[in-house]
A and B are shown apart, each in its own frame.
Chain A
Amino acid sequence: MIQYILLIVAAPATYLLTKFMARVIERLGYVGVDIFKLDKPVIPSLGGIPILIMYSILMYLLYLAGFVAIDVFAAVVLACLIAGFVGLLDDLYDMPGYFKPLACLLAGLPIILFGTYIPRLYFPLGVSFRITYIYILLILVGVSVSANTVNMLDVVNGSALIGTLVVLVTLALSAVIIDPSNDILPLLALLSVLAGFLPHNIYPSKIFIGNVGALFLGAAVASFAIIYKVEFQAVVAMLPFIHNSFFFMNKFRRFVEHKRLNYRVTELGSDGLIGDAGDPNAPVTLVRLLVAPNRLSELDVVLNITLLFIFSSILAMLSLLWWWV
């Protein structure tokens, strides 16, 4: 019972902590311009810090109360902390483009060190591959790819957070359906914390999650996918994320900070609507595809992205129908 009380209390606690930290972050000068608003408001960044703090505290309390095993607690929290720290360094010091993908490889290490994985990949129709050594490599690469792919879709108010929330709900349902003995309390804890943070980040945002938040969320998704053996469902539910980052990578064929590239993917019209900038050098990102035929408001872009995530999550859940065939 106490675990559910902790989960319920975590959401308002995160809300209040974020409200307090937003003021502190703004006073310290860590702010970003909300580019898809006509009046270009300045918003506090680094919103991932209160999420990271609250999630770590909540997981520690759940561990102390005996509801979360030490290996799962250490693997998930350390993976999230490492990815969040990498994002924080990038937020504070504007690191080179290759830094995030390389440094995020380290975020997979706790999962390997604490042995919270089974080196077997499962697919629908009863297909599975035992890949003892390659799986370890896949953990390192998978966590880094997941963290960075979430970060790349953090382009409009709340897009990365809402996408991650939909993916996490899909993973929770899949984990319970595939194996009812799966203890999804660590995942529910993250959902609770994110629910408390959501009102601050959805359109119109009062705080950005920053690289610290986006990398943390991506690492968390990958960690849960590995621990609960729902890698396939995670990949399918994350298809909009993957689609977005894949086209960015394909265009530039290297890790580079998008701020340093001289191109414009989208533009804000005087009517406040987002349209395709028509730059042939720019990658065909998800937002660009959405606004290519008709200009949309930022809120509509967020809602369209949310619909795509719900659609891909339904596809992920559908695979469970023929999982054991």
Chain B
Amino acid sequence: MTAPQTKQQAAITLQGVSKSFGKVAVLKSLDLVVEHGAIHGLVGLNGSGKTTTLDCILGLRPIDSGAISVLDLPPSHLYRAEGRVVAIFDTPSLHTHLSVRQALEHARLLLPNPERDVDEVMSLLEINRYANYKVRSLSLGNRRRASIAHALLGNPELILLDEPFNGLDAGGVDEVLELISRFNREFGMSFLLSSHQLPYLQTICTHLSVLHEGRIAVSGSVESLLAATSARVEITTPQCEAAQELLATMSGLSIERIINNVLHIVLQGAKPAEINRKLIESGIEVEELVHGQASLNTVFREHTSDTPTSIASRGAL
């Protein structure tokens, strides 16, 4: 878990936040800290409560108990931040009967001191050619670009994004990743991103929290999480027992589990090549050896699953 932060350091603080829908407890005394200037990823399985967490932070959904502070404001008074906090939702929520330009002009009316004009943000997102198109006539990807342009009008301090990569093509994802990095680097904007796309998050996030069963299972800087996560090797062999006996004599590894002739091994210093060589030298047939580097996928799997899953299938999270 992240070390406790002072209020001045944290852009968002959640302490013991609980939220239920009827008898179903979605958030169970959830604690979360998002530091100023961080790009913080929030990941979790479907239905784990990521969107509910974001809604509670934004004051859109009342909480049952606990405390939330966003830029030192309670969520119910977030409007007092006067545009310093903005959100981009999983479904682009702009007025569909307006043109892109009108939707952005409308958003500008709500800001006390808009930092950027409509043309500037449209250029940033490369949606100038759609300026006079109705929002409803845009593709999902371009609607998402318009939503991001909508959020950038006021030079916010904190941006919350719910599934920001949904509906974007590969080029669009790269643009969004680049924009997030750039705005974080140049303007010190803080981001809280909820997403399933761990490979994308790994490229930009400075911090990550894994939400599981209504609680934060693990949270911290991406660096520290990766450092604390062991690499793994999966070895498929018809001589499982012999392999197990041999590996038990080696240091720097531990056998986590054996399922269907596959040994799941956690590396604690041992090298996969060394393991492979020893097995071959002992005459043990190795059908397949898969080496999984520590990644956010590994971190995620470790904290959301009780059973080991195939390394090969982890990329498809």
A, B in one complex: no
Could you list which residues of chain A lie within 8 angstroms of chain B, going by C-beta atoms?
Answer: none
